[in-house]
Amino acid sequence: MSKSYRSIFAVLSLLVIASMLAACGGTPTPTAAPAAAEPAAAEPTKAEAAAPAAAEGKVKIGLSFSDFATERWKNEDALLHKLLEAKGYEVITSEANHDTKLQNDQIDNMVSQGIKGLIVIAEDGDSAATAVDKAADAGVKVLAYDRLVKSPKIAAYLSFNNIAVGNGQADGVLKALDIEGGKWTKENPAKVVLLGGSPTDNNAILFRKGQTDVLQKYIDSGVIKIVADQWVDNWDPANAQKLMENIITAQEGKIDAVVASNDGTALGALQALKAQKLVVPISGQDATADGCNSIVKGELTVTIYKDIRKLSPMAADAIDALLNGKAIEGLKNYTMAELTNVADAKGEVPCIFLPVVQVTKDNVFDEIVKSGFQSYDDVYRDIPEADRPAKPGAEAAAAPAKSGEKIKIGLSFSDFATERWKNEDALLHKLLEAKGYEVITSEANHDTKLQNDQIDNMVSQGIKGLIVIAEDGDSAATAVDNAAKAGVKVLAYDRLVKSPNIAAYLSFNNIAVGNGQADGVLKALDIEGGKWTKENPAKVVLLGGSPTDNNAILFRKGQTDVLQKYIDSGVIKIVADQWVDNWDPANAQKLMENIITAQEGKIDAVVASNDGTALGALQALKAQKLVVPISGQDATADGCNSIVKGELTVTIYKDIRKLSPMAADAIDALINGKTIEGLKNYTMAELTNVADAKGEVPCIFLPVVQVTKDNVFDEIVKSGFQSYDDVYRDIPEADRPAKP
């Protein structure tokens, strides 16, 4: 295994560890992946739930690889084994050595061995459809991995944005040609060679579409002339070299650029060009160590970086979700015509396409080396020391080395009374210490001044990064601004700090939380059923969270967005609107007792903003024998137990297991000057629901899921978010579903 792949594999191993650390509340085998905010699959019967525990042993998943000559596949096979075995599956691998018939036979054989899931890296997307169709007909969930299998029977297709790959390749070559600079005309067109990949690999077809989308207007205007268009069987660099030698001969050396579809074919073609002392722009793909080394030497012009480290974890989660009847977050249907660029192709396939990055000499260090995708030594081999950038971390490591200290990161928590924060503090320590940081924690016990003093103190201790769970988003801005001025990278975690000086804000879609709470209550009320009128409106209580927590403001906005039309039409009447300091359940109970008294018990529903306040209010309602729909949030064990008992109506599930790993990666990226994938700027007005608020903040918002009695087992228990015993405590055995 090369140094570059060892470095990739090390990062992947950390991802595995992080995902295992993030699991909480019990770990079913196999574990279901967290689902998107879509309707859950029907609850399994007890017999179905018991199936994995049958005599034949663990559930089997097959991995079918086109070949292992491509070193990438060996590494991804090893990682998929680790990820799937960690979820409790038995994994079988086959490798077809570029033989389409052999691959089909191997798939048939795995089906006969009783696999329930199949991940396919197809040698030929057309040929593999035969065996895949048979597998799907036998009840196997089939996932096409990176390469399309041309069958609408596949359950999902995970890859990268392959048209964008082609766009980036052509764009990089055209920029290097200075195609708009006026040198190229109809009388003097740029002579361009197109060097496609394996014609049996559908990705190669999509790369060509992306290339053509960019090139076509220049071809049509006559400033580009395609002088050769070839495909390279099996993506073989030696074959690419031979093809380019023939093209050079046929064109008498008159070639101005080559749009090649991956680094291997590009480097093969480059050998032929160098032999004739031809220096022309040329594109690649995959950001291989050899390709990136060629870029820093000024040979290869552009490569396209697909972060393959993300694909195996996504595939493992996806096949796990498919086997457990769960939705896969982010899937979108594409027609086979779109996927194959064949107009009359039939059917649709659910897909996820990860983004890609155009890499040139200008950004290869930041995108490839600093991200750890390829090693510094592999990319800069043969480059004189004076011409190399400093090794990543060299400068940062130099300063602490004087005293032997590690770089420090501060964690500032609003409180530890909320049990969630204790768990996330422990996980953040593990994740950040695994990255080599020293971590300092402070906890403010709901005291805003104390939290600011604690932040100031951590800055004086020399922290370089700060993760803040703010007690009060307004108050915390003072200390955060001071920290940012001192050069500290500040990340607001789950709760907004109202300062445009924060480097990033990671949370959940908090307006969607409020939407789901109000929607769940309205459905339980049957608001559209005709019972409620202007003369007989539903009397609804709004019970907000802590008014100093900006999330509570956004939950209320989401609730109001759903409720307003019914308020306006008069079929809902808001009879009380209260906020609960510190999200305190006891405070919520007292408030609800007062509201019940004031309303003489005439209450039809409560829209509460989290499980704690909902359960506090529920105590007051139960004391008066009032049974009304009520919402919560956080999918706590107590909240979910209340749901299965038929008390709490709806909770909103935010998979907080995803937030700590994302925050650890994000603060690490910020400290090292790297980009954070998925960040999008939002105005402070959007984030606070205050029209005149100033500034912008880069954010990532994770999705949320509405949970009711109908899907609590699938979404919460089977995913391992809460344990079966906690959710179903006090529930008679006969009324429980089978244990996962």
Query: For residues 640 and 632, what is the distance between their CA atoms, to the nearest angstrom?
Result: 10
Q: Which residue has the tokens 């409620």?
A: 532
Question: Rounded to an integer, what distance in angstroms lies between the CA atom of residue 204 and that of residue 201?
Answer: 6
Report CA dihedral (225, 230, 231, 232) to the nearest 10 degrees: -120
Two tokens at 229? 């268009």
Q: Give per-residue pLDDT as tens, 522-547.
A: 999 999 998 999 999 999 999 999 98
Domain-wise residue ranges, the chain: 3-160+308-356, 162-285, 400-502+657-707, 510-654
Please indicate whether the domains covering 3-160+308-356 and 400-502+657-707 agree at the CATH topology level. yes
Residue 27 confidence class, pLDDT cut points 50, 70, 90? very low
Phi-psi category of residue 505: left, alpha or beta, with phi > 0 → left and psi -120 to 50 → alpha: beta
The strand order across the sheet containing 117-120 reads 90-95, 60-65, 117-120, 141-145, 156-160, 348-354, 332-335
pLDDT at 626: 97
What would you measure as the largest C-alpha separation in the chain, in angstroms? 95
What does the alpha-carbon distance between residue 649 and residue 105 come to, in Å, rounded to a whole number?
51
The predicted model gives 284-301 an average pLDDT of 94
Q: What is the pLDDT of residues 358-372, one digit of tens each?
A: 999 999 999 999 888
Contact 431, 664 (CB under 8 A): yes
**What is the tens place of the pLDDT at every residue in 546-591?**
988 888 999 999 999 999 999 999 999 999 999 999 899 999 999 9
Residue 52 and residue 346 in contact, taking contact as beta carbons nearer than 8 Å: no
* CATH architecture of structural domain 510-654: 3-Layer(aba) Sandwich (3.40)
Which residues make beta-bridge pairs with 606? 541, 630
CA-to-CA distance for 453 and 67, rounded, in angstroms?
A: 59
Q: What's the mean pLDDT in 260-270? A: 95
Q: Which residues pair with 504 in a beta bridge?
A: 491
Each residue's pLDDT tens digit, 639-661:
999 999 999 999 999 998 889 99
The strands making up 408-413's β-sheet, listed across from edge to edge, are 438-443, 408-413, 463-468, 489-493, 504-508, 696-702, 680-683
**Torsion on CA atoms 332, 338, 344, 346, rounded to nearest 10:** -20
For residue 38, the model assigns a pLDDT of 31
The CATH architecture one would assign to domain 400-502+657-707 is 3-Layer(aba) Sandwich (3.40)
Whether 630 shows a pLDDT value over 90: the answer reads yes
Query: Domain 3-160+308-356 classified CATH 3.40.50.150?
Result: no
Nearest to 581 by CA among 735, 415, 709, 392: 415
CATH number for the segment(s) 162-285: 3.40.50.2300
Report the C-alpha gap between 338 and 678 in whole angstroms.
25
Average pLDDT, the chain: 88
Q: Scanning the structure block, which residue is given the tokens 């912008």?
A: 696
Q: CA–CA separation, 202 vs 336, rounded Å?
A: 11
Q: Which residues are 681's β-sheet partners?
A: 698
Average pLDDT over residues 172-198: 95
